[in-house]
């Protein structure tokens, strides 16, 4: 990047996960907690990280150190599935997936044909991500290329690493929200040329889900992925039982829901499938064999009554999992709240989700799911300097609970259970403060 980003030096308590794991029992060994640490960034990257004691000699005396003695600093949260045009319809009452789409979602998304409206909501959306400590997201736009331009422009203004794409949808939706196999292909191609790899922006080919694309459209999507192998594929999979039955009716020749995507060349190391609540055995195997990733969206799965995501099964199958808010079926932009619900989804299945595993999914594990773990997810020197300063005591109740915390694991767990956007003191993107809480 040609723009120069100033050097930043941050002193405080740092917590991150050092390496990717394939077994959740190994996460504890990868936890790095530095009570009095120093992080130096230069040109948006982490230049030095370690203890304050060791780091002082590294510091240029002219650089002012930003000191957060009471807070906890973690890598920026990564949201692996969210819809920016659904920001305004979060919390829509009463329906499950297919009725919810027809009743609330499609009428809302029609408005994004208007570039000014797209810009207005894109600006709000990006601010809301930062206010919640989310520094990277994989985002659905609408079928309109205008919505993609608006979002990438808003993300570029904040130097965020964002992945997004235009929805492909050529059937089973209102006319005003559909493209065709050919126009969807061409518009996506133009957007890839315009945005993919420009600054920190990355493009995702985004068929909404199998029921709203004809076989011809999925074929063209696969062709596009073959032409641009380093772009992403982002879609929904196996979220709701009626949806799955519908896919089986629409694609009788395919072995199952995932096989529809796999058949058209849409699985792979940069393919992210939201939900995967009801996968069958062969589908788990295919997810593993193709190195495809899942976005686990607990608040959405509970809100739409879709089901309980089997996280343990994903670990056993060796499938990458990131955390998704899935706004507007999900009910919060905040990854602490999302982890709170993720914990309860596991409890309902007799499983435990530890604080450190939670941190893993929200940071390094999310980066791995997006195939960006060489650039994001922890404080390794050379990675991009995206991080969050967490206030542990944003309310009287939190203060009381945290004063009784046994150790850093308990501290983070209590934060997950009680925390929300009030706990985000500051969000740093590419080494610079992109959000600072007003009352902080
Ligand atoms: N499946 C197809 N479209 C959508 C959507 O917008 N939200 C969710 N949660 N699932 C979907
Ligand atoms: Zn979704």
Residue whose pair of structure tokens reads 């300063």 in the numeric block:
389
Look at residue 2 and tell me whether its pLDDT is greater than 80. Answer: no
All CATH 2.30.40.10 domain ranges of the chain, comma separated, are 2-75+381-436
All CATH 3.20.20.140 domain ranges of the chain, comma separated, are 77-333
Q: Are 271 and 290 in contact (CB under 8 A)?
A: yes
CA distance 314 to 311: 5
DSSP 280: -
Bigger pLDDT: 4 vs 164:
164
Q: Per CATH, which fold does 2-75+381-436 belong to?
A: Urease, subunit C; domain 1 (2.30.40)
Both tokens of residue 254? 């395919």
Mutate to test the pocket of ligand 1, among 142, 143, 238, 239 (most ligand atoms within 8 A of CB): 239
pLDDT in tens, 71-124: 999 999 999 999 999 999 999 999 999 999 999 999 999 999 999 999 999 999
Look at residue 353 and tell me whether its pLDDT is greater than 90. Answer: yes
Closest ligand 1 atom to Cα of 86: 6
CATH homologous superfamily for the domain 77-333: Metal-dependent hydrolases (3.20.20.140)
Q: Is 426 left (phi over 0), alpha (psi -120 to 50) or beta?
A: beta
Q: Is the CB of 300 under 6 A from ligand 1?
A: yes
Both tokens of residue 16? 């991150």
Confidence label for 214 from pLDDT (cuts 50, 70 and 90): very high
**Partners of 67 in the beta sheet?**
11
pLDDT in tens, 380-412: 999 999 999 999 999 999 999 999 999 999 999
pLDDT given for residue 3 in this prediction: 57
Residues around the ion ligand 2 (C-beta < 5 A): 274, 326
Confidence label for 6 from pLDDT (cuts 50, 70 and 90): confident
Q: What angle do CA 178, 195, 175 make, to 5 degrees?
A: 5
CA distance 245 to 248: 5
């Amino acid at each position: 990047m040609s723009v120069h980003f100033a050097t930043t030096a941050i002193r405080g308590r740092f917590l991150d996960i050092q390496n990717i794991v394939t077994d959740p029992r190994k996460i504890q060994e990868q936890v790095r907690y530095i009570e009095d640490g120093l992080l130096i960034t230069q040109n948006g990257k982490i230049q030095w990280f370690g203890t304050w004691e060791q780091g002082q000699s590294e510091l240029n005396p002219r650089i002012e150190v930003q000191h957060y003695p009471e807070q906890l600093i973690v890598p920026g949260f990564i949201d692996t599935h969210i819809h920016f045009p659904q920001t305004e319809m979060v919390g829509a009452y009463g329906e499950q997936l297919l009725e919810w789409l027809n009743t609330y979602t499609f009428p809302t998304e029609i408005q994004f044909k208007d570039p000014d409206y797209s810009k207005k909501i894109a600006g709000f959306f990006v601010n809301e991500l930062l206010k919640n400590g989310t520094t990277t997201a994989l985002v659905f736009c609408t079928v309109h290329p205008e919505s993609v331009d608006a979002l990438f422009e808003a993300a570029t203004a904040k130097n965020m690493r964002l992945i997004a794409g235009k929805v492909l949808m050529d059937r089973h939706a209102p006319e005003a929200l559909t493209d065709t196999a050919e126009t969807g292909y061409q518009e996506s191609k133009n957007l890839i040329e315009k945005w993919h790899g420009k600054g920190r922006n990355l493009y995702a080919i985004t068929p909404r889900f199998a029921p709203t694309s004809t076989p011809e459209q999925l074929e063209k999507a696969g062709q596009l992925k073959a032409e641009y192998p380093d772009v992403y594929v982002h879609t929904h999979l196996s979220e709701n039982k009626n949806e799955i039955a519908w896919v089986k009716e629409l694609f009788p020749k395919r072995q199952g829901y995932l096989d529809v995507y796999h058949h058209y060349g849409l699985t792979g190391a940069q393919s992210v499938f939201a939900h995967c609540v009801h996968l069958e055995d062969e589908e788990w195997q295919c997810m593993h064999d193709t190195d495809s990733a899942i976005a686990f969206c607990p608040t959405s799965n509970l809100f739409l009554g879709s089901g309980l995501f089997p996280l343990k099964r994903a670990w056993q199958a060796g499938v990458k999992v990131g955390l998704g808010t899935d706004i507007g079926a999900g009910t919060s932009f905040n990854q602490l709240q999302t982890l709170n619900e993720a914990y309860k989804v596991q409890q309902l299945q007799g499983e435990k989700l530890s604080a450190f595993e939670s941190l893993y999914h929200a940071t390094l594990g999310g980066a791995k799911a997006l195939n960006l773990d060489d650039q994001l997810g922890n404080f390794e020197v050379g990675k991009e300097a995206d991080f969050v300063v967490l206030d542990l005591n944003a309310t009287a109740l939190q203060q009381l609970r945290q004063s009784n915390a046994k150790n850093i694991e308990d501290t983070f767990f209590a934060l997950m259970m009680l925390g929300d956007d009030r706990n985000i003191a500051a969000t740093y993107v590419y080494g610079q403060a992109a959000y600072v809480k007003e009352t902080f």
